[in-house]
């Protein structure tokens, strides 16, 4: 069998490989000689929440920016710095790298709160959109649905509400409400007792909506919407004190 070798093609491939390896080697040598010129922090979601600012990120990195100038890039352990930043519950991800000019670039993504845990016997907290329990901040207050009641003691015992079955169901209910324009505007508070049974408080109307366990959420919300559309217009908003959605195919109002 005869094998044809395209010498020109092989030379081009070899030239490309030499160039690539040369650039890698050059970059590594540059890291050994380039000093830190400055630190640039970019925070994603900063227009939606202001829990942390640039100075907070530098503090998490345990850096003094002025003292860092002049230090060799090769002395920085980027993975270690990323790990420090990611330990903060407000932060979901962090990436640190440098350019050839000596700038250290820090990209940080903040978690977004979807509910606020309110309690009378201790500090409040937030539930993030990935289920992480976050503390509150004195810099920013998010306008989200409130979660109250005896059940929040159990929620605050875990780092992420998805670690427990009841917490996962409640979190899915919060997400369902949040992603529906009508319910997101109407539901203001979820009061959850020790058994995980939910009572809804709403923006319009004084009724206590007895939702029951956080299951069959969409079906129960459909029943509640029927109550609003077909019953309330006939009797008025202040007719009933309680509305129970727990029974299949029924709306019980008192």
Strand order, beta sheet including 145-148: 133-135, 125-128, 113-117, 145-148, 187-192, 197-202, 208-213, 242-244, 252-253
Residue with tokens 């919300």: 221
CB burial class (10 A; 0-12, 13-18, 19+) of residue 187?
buried
Per DSSP, the chain holds a count of helices (H) and strands (E) of 9, 12
Q: Kindly give, in sequence order, each residue whose CB lies less than 8 Å from that of residue 134, ignoring residues fewer than 6 positions away.
A: 51, 89, 90, 111, 113, 125, 126, 127, 128
- pLDDT for position 27: 47
Q: Is 175 helix (H, G, I), strand (E, B) or coil?
A: helix
pTM for the model stands at 0.79
| Predicted confidence band of residue 47 (pLDDT cuts 50, 70, 90) | low
Q: Which helix (H) or strand (E) holds 84?
A: helix 78-86
Q: Measured over all CA atoms, what is the biggest interatomic distance in the chain, rounded to whole angstroms?
A: 94
Residues in the chain: 254
Region of poorest pLDDT, from 37-51, 64-78, 121-135: 64-78
Mean pLDDT calculated for residue range 78-92: 91
**pLDDT for 155-192, tens place per residue?**
888 999 999 999 999 999 999 999 999 999 999 999 99
pLDDT surpassing 60 at residue 30: no
Q: In the chain, what are the domains? A: 33-110 (3.10.20.310), 113-253 (3.40.50.11690)
Mean pLDDT calculated for residue range 199-221: 91
- pLDDT for position 171: 96
């Amino acid at each position: 069998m005869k094998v044809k070798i395209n010498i020109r093609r092989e030379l081009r491939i070899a030239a490309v490989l030499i160039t690539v390896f040369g650039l890698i080697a050059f970059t590594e040598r540059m890291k050994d000689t380039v000093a830190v010129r400055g630190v640039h922090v970019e925070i994603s979601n900063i227009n939606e929440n202001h829990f942390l600012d640039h100075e907070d990120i530098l503090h998490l990195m345990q850096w003094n920016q002025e003292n860092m100038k002049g230090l060799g890039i090769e002395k920085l352990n980027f993975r270690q710095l990323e790990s420090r930043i990611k330990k903060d519950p407000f932060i979901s991800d962090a990436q640190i790298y440098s350019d050839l000019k000596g700038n250290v670039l820090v990209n940080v993504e903040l978690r977004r709160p979807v509910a606020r845990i309110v309690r009378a016997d201790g500090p409040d907290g937030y539930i993030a959109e990935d289920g992480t329990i976050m503390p509150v901040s004195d810099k920013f207050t998010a306008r989200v649905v409130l979660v109250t009641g005896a059940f929040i003691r159990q929620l605050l015992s875990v780092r992420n509400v998805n670690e427990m079955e009841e917490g996962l169901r409640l979190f899915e209910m919060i997400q369902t409400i949040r992603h529906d324009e009508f319910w997101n505007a109407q539901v203001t508070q979820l009061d959850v007792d020790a058994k995980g049974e939910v009572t809804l408080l709403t923006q319009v109307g004084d009724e206590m909506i007895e939702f029951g366990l956080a299951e069959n959420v969409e079906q129960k919300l459909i029943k509640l919407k029927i109550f609003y559309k077909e019953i309330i217009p006939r009797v008025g908003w202040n007719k009933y004190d309680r509305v129970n959605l727990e029974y299949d195919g029924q709306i019980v109002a008192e």
